Amino acid sequence: MKKESTHPPIISWEGQAVGLLDQTLLPHEEKFILCDTLPALWEAIKSLRVRGAPAIGVSAAYGVVLAAELCRTMDPDVFAREVHEGIDYLATSRPTAVNLFWALERMRGCLDSMAGSGVAQQKAHLLEEARRIEAENNQVCETLSEAGANLLKDGFRVITHCNAGGLACGNFYGTALGVILKASEQGKRISVYADETRPLLQGSRLTAYELHKAGVPVTLLCDNMAGHVMRTIGVDAVIFGADRIAANGDTANKIGSYSLSVLAREHGVPVYVAAPLSTVDFTLSSGELIPIEVRNSAEVAGFAGIRTAPEGVEVYNPAFDVTPARYITAIITEAGVLYPPFEKSLGRLAPGYSTVS
């Protein structure tokens, strides 16, 4: 049976502001905030009020609509220059999730295609494009979830890392959690181990919240328990999302995904990455080239404003790691389930690919 959406709205265009469900407050408070300036939206992306690669992309697309609405000029050239500046500014918010740049570049292309038109017409066109990006993203998430669900058999015990659910995508299904939701809609009994995902606990705060609400059995684990669970209880699949996938299949995702994949290999557990094609960066030949966000030391040295580490101690806080393609069993996309060698299976889906040589 199809699961009903239990989410409050996650991202919406509110006329003069981008509306967001503040994910830093979940699961205790479902608060919708309005970002009516570009710095407010930039801060919301930076501080993970909106997070997850596809959701960052959709909110940034509406951010461009906001940049346009905030322009007071009626001169099309001045307008275009100011919106371009807004796009460049939003692009500085977070470096790893390629969906941010993908969505901003689509909005830039839309703006450029309207050069010479009146300001009101350009604003309307930008809003249409942002709405199209959102609608396509929703469809793509559902399609890939359906494609991946066939990989999960009745009774499967699955480990997931971070949050690749609806919250991360601005819709109901999401990606990795969408695969799980679709499999359970098909009547399969799927149970999930959710890594808590230090330092910011997306697994505990968000994945457990989403699966619990959807009625999917979920058991919370500290990140360092996965190996023990694989060895003593048994796990049938690892599934997580992606922030950026290189052309060879190397995948950047939340820090800890790499260690989980290495453990899975040791225990003969398949590793599935679920992501839309907008997360594939065909310009990068390998994961070595993916920029990894290094975040504030306070996130590791304490939690919720309470310091837990000694004052003055050195902290390293990379937010993502790269799982080499050799650890990945398959990549689940809206174009179907792709298998190694990913250079070929992904390559065939690259923009401009042609079978005619």
Neighbour order of strands in the sheet with 191-195:
218-221, 191-195, 157-160, 237-240, 271-274, 330-333, 336-338
CB of 53 to ligand MRU, least distance (A): 4
CB of 184 to ligand MRU, least distance (A): 18
Q: Determine the residue with CB nearest ligand MRU.
A: 241
- Separation CA 273–CA 254 (nearest Å): 12
The answer to whether the bond into 341 is cis (omega within 30° of 0) is: yes
Interface residues with ligand MRU (CB under 6 A) are 48, 51-54, 97, 162, 164, 168-169, 174-175, 202, 240-243, 253-254, 319
- Separation CA 59–CA 23 (nearest Å): 13
Read off the tokens for 148: 């991946």
Measured from the CB atom, is 79 or 342 closer to ligand MRU?
342
Residue 297 near residue 315 (C-beta atoms within 8 A): yes
Which entry of 195, 243, 250, 321 is annotated as an active-site residue?
243
CB of 55 to ligand MRU, least distance (A): 7
Measured from the CB atom, is 114 or 325 closer to ligand MRU?
325
Measured from the CB atom, is 26 or 48 closer to ligand MRU?
48
How many residues belong to the chain? Answer: 357
Active site residue 243: yes
Measured from the CB atom, is 304 or 313 closer to ligand MRU?
304
CB of 56 to ligand MRU, least distance (A): 7
Indicate the residue type of 232: T
Measured from the CB atom, is 53 or 114 closer to ligand MRU?
53
- Separation CA 300–CA 308 (nearest Å): 9
Dihedral angle over CA of 20, 26, 31, 32, nearest 10: 10
The answer to whether the bond into 76 is cis (omega within 30° of 0) is: no
DSSP codes of every residue in 220-261 = EE-GGGHHHHHHHT--SEEEE--SEEETTS-EEEETTHHHHH
Catalytic site residues?
Answer: 243
